[in-house]
């Protein structure tokens, strides 16, 4: 799910969060900047709890890094990623 920032949103929360077969993951999207100290802190808390955090600078990087981190096969290389099964099909 996409997290939209606002006054009630946790400062430093990743942009995208999800759970895949019981494994929590988060994707921090960046263009030209690095993660902030607060984002690094939140990422560390997620990792300490056993979750996966990926910092990505493109859609392809986000998909590939998340698949690698979750040890999932990456069978579809389209602009959208299937949701529902480990192989990315719907």
Each residue's pLDDT tens digit in the chain (90 positions)? 888 888 888 888 999 999 888 889 999 999 888 999 999 999 999 999 999 899 999 999 888 888 888 876 544 444 444 444 455 444
pTM: 0.70
Q: Report the alpha-carbon distance of residue 64 to residue 10 in Å, rounded.
A: 26
Q: Report the alpha-carbon distance of residue 36 to residue 47 in Å, rounded.
A: 16
For the chain, count helices (H), then strands (E).
2, 3
Report the SS3 class of residue 29.
strand
């Amino acid at each position: 799910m996409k997290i939209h920032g606002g006054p009630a949103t946790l400062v430093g929360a990743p942009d995208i969060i999800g759970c895949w077969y019981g494994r929590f993951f988060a994707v921090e999207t960046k263009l030209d900047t690095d993660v902030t100290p607060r984002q690094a802190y939140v990422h560390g808390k997620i990792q300490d709890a056993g979750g996966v955090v990926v910092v990505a600078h493109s859609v392809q990087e986000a998909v590939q890094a998340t698949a690698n981190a979750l040890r999932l096969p990456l069978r579809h290389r389209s602009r959208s990623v299937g949701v529902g099964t480990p192989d990315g099909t719907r």
